[in-house]
Amino acid sequence: MRTRPLKVALLGCGVVGSEVARIMTTHADDLAARIGAPLELAGVAVRRPSKVREGIDPALITTDATALVKRGDIDVVVEVIGGIEPARTLITTAFEHGASVVSANKALLAKDGTTLYDAAARHGRDLYFEAAVAGAIPLIRPLRESLAGDTVNRVLGIVNGTTNFILDRMDTAGSGYSEALDEATALGYAEADPTADVEGFDAAAKAAILAGIAFHTRVRLDDVHREGITEVTSADLASAQRMGCTVKLLAICERAADGRSVTARVHPAMIPLSHPLASVREAYNAVFVEAEAAGQLMFYGPGAGGAPTASAVLGDLVAVCRNKLNGATGPGESAYTRLPVSSMGEVVTRYHINLDVADKPGVLAQVATVFAEHGVSIDTVRQKGKDGEASLVVVTHRAADAALSGTVEALRKLDTVRGVASIMRVEGE
């Protein structure tokens, strides 16, 4: 074993960063044995230096992150500060000054991963980011390495624990959205401002990363269709239950049947209770991968939290340090296919539409005619009426999103249609 330590700089020491530092200290001997050299925490960049950080030498604390990554003797920079800037500049600066990087920054990777990949390749450094998607669940490395010889056609997953907890409570406890969100906040699953989670931004960033790796093409955050869960109601969950389904916020990345394009989207969807993802409860994550040779694979586990995310960071740190000792680098960006990302209008799926209609003869015929005129085939219809008003639930066969949008627009113009109560996609069949 090499006796000279590999020096690690830590950018950020919050929930995840403090766990990374703790594990580096408490498992120092094991990590050294696995890597082939000891690790040394050489500096910790923070915004509030006065805060007490148990187990970390105060002499290591600095507010000058730029100076830390420019030192020249740093082997690996661990970035867990998040956001676009200054993280992007700090990472590229680290590459320029000889360090490889382990990051958990999903937002930056989804928005401008190309800049990071290019900088890492230009300077011959590693960029690893297992912790950016699904916390402790090993997912990035299996897609980048284990399935590198296969063709992945679909990635379907629950990648946000906050929204899964909320929808699970609405489904199993009968809670309303606001009540379930309050419970998630009280338990620490939701931030004080939950917008990034409940509006689907967090999941969309992860979908962009997964799609890019799975399909060997560049997919940016702006390419991902995004819908959140704020409009999901108890009535939607009840309708799903009647169909033998539940509702999940899904990240879905697909290769077109002809292999010439891909799609990436995040939205609530009904999935059958028989699907493995339907049983994912509370704040857990799970990702279902479909590949030509490997078949169907499922990855499951805690998708957030200090210790689980730190586990993923440390796994990357070990891999990067091994590469450093061997004078090698791991896999970089693979975007050789250059596949275009199709718009949401081209996506084909099933739909569950709940209409408020007048309770009188001929309404169903009018509605069915509109669907037929737009080329959308109906699978099942359920109607319930009382006192002149009725609810009409239509489940379609597979149809393009653009065709369904045209159908709904035409339905709104019918005098007998009082309103469209909800529209939800049906996946996993």
Cβ contact 360:416 at 8 Å: yes
What's the 3-state SS for the chain? CCCCCEEEEEECCCHHHHHHHHHHHHCHHHHHHHHCCCEEEEEEECCCCCCCCCCCCHHHEECCHHHHHCCCCCCEEEECCCCCCCHHHHHHHHHHCCCEEEECCHHHHHHHHHHHHHHHHHHCCCEECHHHCCCCCCCHHHHHHHCCCCCEEEEEEECCHHHHHHHHHHHHCCCCHHHHHHHHHHCCCCCCCCHHHHCCHHHHHHHHHHHHHHHCCCCCHHHCEECCCCCCCHHHHHHHHHCCEEEEEEEEEEECCCCCCEEEEEEEEEEECCCHHHHCCCCEEEEEEEECCCEEEEEEEECCCHHHHHHHHHHHHHHHHHHHHHCCCCCCCCCCCCCCECCHHHCEEEEEEEEEEECCCCHHHHHHHHHHHCCCCEEEEEEEEECCEEEEEEEECCEEHHHHHHHHHHHHCCCCEEEEEEEEEECCC
Q: How far apart are CA 138 and CA 158, in angstroms?
A: 14
Q: How far apart are CA 191 and CA 172, in angstroms?
A: 22
Total residues belonging to the chain? 429
Q: How many CB atoms within 10 Å of residue 346? A: 12
Phi, psi of 105 (to 5 degrees): -90, 85
Active site residue 386: no
| Residue of 106, 206, 248, 324 with catalytic role | 206
Please compute, for residue 382, the number of CA atoms within 13 A of its CA located in the half-sphere on the CB side.
Answer: 9
Active site residues: 206
